A = this chain, B = another copy of it.
Amino acid sequence: MAENAAPRDTPTGGRPTARPDLAAMLVPLCRALVDAERPVLDAHGLTMWAYSVLLRLDDTPIRTQAALADAIRADRTRIIPVLDDLESRGLIHRRPDPGDRRVRLVSLTPEGRRVRDAVQGDIQRGEEELLTRLPAADREGFVRGLLTLHALPEIPPHRPSGAA
């Protein structure tokens, strides 16, 4: 019966804002964006996992495949066929680390870099076009906000309040 009788230190107690949940807007948007990428990925014969690998390999070089899998939130075992495929197509290089022969050093080949650039170019071009739909005033805040949230080390779980 007591709904949320206890006063909250956050703006609203019961039904907060008038806006929909952030997640309820973000999830469909994510879906749509990923769907929008598919033609580009297909045109290059890449899966989303493969593209994630190409994307990630450019940043800081990664020493182990396990770390690579963790970085893109993939499964350590399921990523192996992806790497096999990329390697067989000459997009990545997998060589044993001379210092620790358990480890395979994974790196982009020049061709891999070329493919990644082409794919990412197409994707970002489409995304820029999408950002065009935003009022100029919001565009920058949106992208910067996204960058900030993306850079967060972690998102703390939302905590259930009153009701059991």
- State which of B24, B145, B150 has its C-beta within 8 Å of the C-beta of A138: B145
A137 on the B face (CB < 8 A):
yes
Count of identical protomers in the assembly = 2
Q: Which of A37-45, A62-70, A75-83, A84-92 contacts B (4 or more CB under 8 A)?
A: A37-45
- State which of B124, B134, B141 has its C-beta within 8 Å of the C-beta of A16: B124
Is there contact, CB below 8 Å, between A37 and B158? yes
Is there contact, CB below 8 Å, between B122 and A20? no
Indicate the member of A73, A124, A158 with the most B CB atoms within 10 Å: A158
Is there contact, CB below 8 Å, between A138 and B144? yes
> How far does the Cβ of A104 sit from chain B's closest Cβ, in whole Å?
24
Binary interface encoding of chain A residues 19-53 relative to chain B, with 1 for a CB under 8 A from any of its CBs, else 0: 11111111111111111111110111000000010
> Given A15-B121, A138-B141, A142-B146, 14 more contacts at CB 8 Å?
A10-B125, A12-B128, A13-B121, A21-B55, A23-B30, A25-B146, A25-B147, A35-B155, A36-B156, A44-B163, A118-B161, A122-B161, A123-B158, A141-B142
List residues of A whose CB falls within 8 A of some B CB: 3-4, 8, 10-17, 19-40, 42-44, 52, 55, 73, 114-115, 117-118, 120-131, 133-135, 137-150, 152, 154-164
